[in-house]
Amino acid sequence: MVDDASQPPPHRHHLLVRYGETDQMGRVHHANYLLYFEEARTGMMRELGASYAGLERRGVGLPVRKADLRYRQAALYEEELVVETRITRVGPASVTFEYRCLREADGGLVATGSTELACIDLADGRLIHLPADMARVFRGAQGSAE
Amino acid sequence: MVDDASQPPPHRHHLLVRYGETDQMGRVHHANYLLYFEEARTGMMRELGASYAGLERRGVGLPVRKADLRYRQAALYEEELVVETRITRVGPASVTFEYRCLREADGGLVATGSTELACIDLADGRLIHLPADMARVFRGAQGSAE
Amino acid sequence: MVDDASQPPPHRHHLLVRYGETDQMGRVHHANYLLYFEEARTGMMRELGASYAGLERRGVGLPVRKADLRYRQAALYEEELVVETRITRVGPASVTFEYRCLREADGGLVATGSTELACIDLADGRLIHLPADMARVFRGAQGSAE
Amino acid sequence: MVDDASQPPPHRHHLLVRYGETDQMGRVHHANYLLYFEEARTGMMRELGASYAGLERRGVGLPVRKADLRYRQAALYEEELVVETRITRVGPASVTFEYRCLREADGGLVATGSTELACIDLADGRLIHLPADMARVFRGAQGSAE
């Protein structure tokens, strides 16, 4: 059983800013953070043994239903960024991830955000319960007892 | 003088979903709505005689500081969408836009959201007051008296 | 019957450069022209009564097999561009489009290119013949007799 | 001095396909390969001690002037890809890179291509000679004697 008092450390995902991700203001265009968060989140799932690609092969999808972003400092081309990801809520048919995007060099906070994902049947788009194994993995990562 | 009681109608921007904006779930990838909102917002500014390109030529930028999105229904390839944009807050050094993205065919609600933009000096990134003419235009569009 | 001597005029598609399409060099990032060409090509198909969305609903896809691009002049944020599209070759299981991307304001040549599309069965990815109606439409647009 | 007979091995860059890079055909959208090639090319430059970010800080840019792509097999979400990059030509004011994108799992060829980059003064966009140190690095990597 997991100790409620101890929140597990976040998953850490490293990435390097691509040139095509900058805009003429000379910084990462704000829409790209949703791609960074997605890459971090699916990297976390893969590491937890719950690959998102595998989930879709079972006919289940996790589209984003809600997203919040706050931009703190500009990120620049070729900067290495770290995205720290935590699972903060597991509902019957949804899961919420929170993100902190930091500059690797000095730990400066670049952006924060969260995304809430709904669980759907890919065949018809209907909302369905999270598969039991997936819910278990998410709850384990969240650090709460089942 | 503008009557406080009457909120002006939102700016309406039309767009057609591009193939490259879909993902393998067969719907518009969620990050693209930030591009749609940006296109709608700058279209509105242009129409108000306050082009964002012109603002940058004066050395002033409006990077996004905060964004919230809620995804209601999937949008599909080649669907025509309408983004309704309103200005909901004009601060000394910021402006907030709200968006409703609808399917043109049946008015179905696809996504909603808001973005808060900070006003900066492009030379050094420092927060600065909105230029007076810009603030006036934004307040006029917001429907409040100056 | 179509006169072989007269090449039909190209299809003209208008678009406005989005902020998110620029990069830190202050110009449209070169990858975006493939999105512009795709938008122009599918706009042309729609106008010819042969919507690409409709084709996919019949289980047939036209993935890009080959692309060539030449960048002539930088395109800037908020510039209006026109993409002129022609069909230059219709094979049994492929079709080739050529593009000229011009600045609307002064007709300056921004980029040129071509894409060759293969016709596939979306169920298994196998190469198949272009559906007869599609081949007829493409040949008509190409300006050659059948 | 470098032996002309021995072509150096290509630079190898690894990447994982992002969800947002797929389209509704269930494969990587064709425009993204230009981003993959760019990431591979700039990774190679960094490794050669000739960072592209550093070059721009010196006021010199290398915009893409010409690109060719051939798509061989579809790449799928979460597949690991390897991009092999070689420098095939170094001109007075240009450099050409060639790419082979392979599936890591089985070595299957996904896409090939090349990009020709022009050397420009970022201040005014004029074509200029490659800086001498840059030309030397590129020629060294190309495997030809200077």
Q: Does C2 reside within a domain? A: no
Residue B22 structure tokens:
């879909």
Name the residue among A71, A64, A129 with its Cα closest to residue A96.
A64
What pLDDT score does D146 carry? 40
Mean pLDDT calculated for residue range C100-124:
98
Q: Does D1 reside within a domain? A: no
Q: Does B25 reside within a domain? A: yes
Residue A15 structure tokens:
């990435």
Contacts of D10 (CB under 8 A, 6+ apart): D84, D85, D86, D100
For chain B, 146 residues long, give each residue's pLDDT as a single digit of tens. Answer: 444 456 789 999 999 999 999 999 999 999 999 999 999 999 999 999 999 999 999 999 999 999 999 999 999 999 999 999 999 999 999 999 999 999 999 999 999 999 999 999 999 999 999 999 999 999 999 975 43
A85-99, B3-17, B34-48, C7-21: least confident range: B3-17
Band of the pLDDT at C3, cuts 50, 70, 90?
Answer: very low
Asked whether residue A145 carries a pLDDT value surpassing 60, the answer given is no
Interchain proximity A63–B71, CB inside 8 Å: yes
Q: Does A5 reside within a domain? A: no
Mean pLDDT calculated for residue range C64-72:
98
The reply to whether the predicted model has a pTM over 0.90 is yes
DSSP 8-class letter at B73: S
B32: closest chain D residue by CA: D20
What pLDDT score does D41 carry? 98
> Which residues pair with residue C16 across a beta bridge?
C80
Interchain proximity A30–B125, CB inside 8 Å: no
Interchain proximity C63–D24, CB inside 8 Å: no
Interchain proximity C39–B52, CB inside 8 Å: no
What pLDDT score does D8 carry? 87
Nearest-CA distance C101 → chain A (Å): 20
The C-alpha atoms of residue C140 and residue A132 are separated, in whole angstroms, by 55
Asked whether residue A126 carries a pLDDT value surpassing 70, the answer given is yes
Alpha helices in B48-80 (DSSP H): 52-57
Q: Does C76 reside within a domain? A: yes
Band of the pLDDT at C146, cuts 50, 70, 90?
Answer: very low
Q: Residue B8, SS3?
A: coil
- Sign of torsion over alpha carbons D18, D24, D26, D31: negative
pLDDT in tens, A21-59: 999 999 999 999 999 999 999 999 999 999 999 999 999
- Residues of chain D with pLDDT below 70 are 1-6, 144-146
Place of tokens 């090509």: C41
**What domain range is A46 assigned to?**
13-142
DSSP 8-class letter at A46: H
What pLDDT score does A76 carry? 97
Residues of chain B with C-beta less than 8 angstroms from the C-beta of D17: none
- Looking up residue B19, the CATH number of its domain turns out to be 3.10.129.10
Q: Does A74 reside within a domain? A: yes
Catalytic residues of C: 23
Share the mean pLDDT of chain C: 94
pLDDT in tens, A10-29: 999 999 999 999 999 999 99
Q: Does D6 reside within a domain? A: no
What is the distance in angstroms between the CA of the first residue and the CA of the last residue of chain A? 8
Residues of chain A with C-beta less than 8 angstroms from the C-beta of D19: 38, 42, 52
DSSP D28-52: B-TTHHHHHHHHHHHHHHHHTT--H
Q: What b-and-e string marks burial along A46-64, b requiring 16 or more CB atoms within 10 Å of the CB?
A: beeebbbbebbeeebbbbb
Residues of chain B with C-beta less than 8 angstroms from the C-beta of A31: 31-32, 34-35, 38
What pLDDT score does A6 carry? 64
The C-alpha atoms of residue A65 and residue B69 are separated, in whole angstroms, by 8
What pLDDT score does D5 carry? 52
Q: Does D4 reside within a domain? A: no
Number of domains forming the structure of chain B = 1
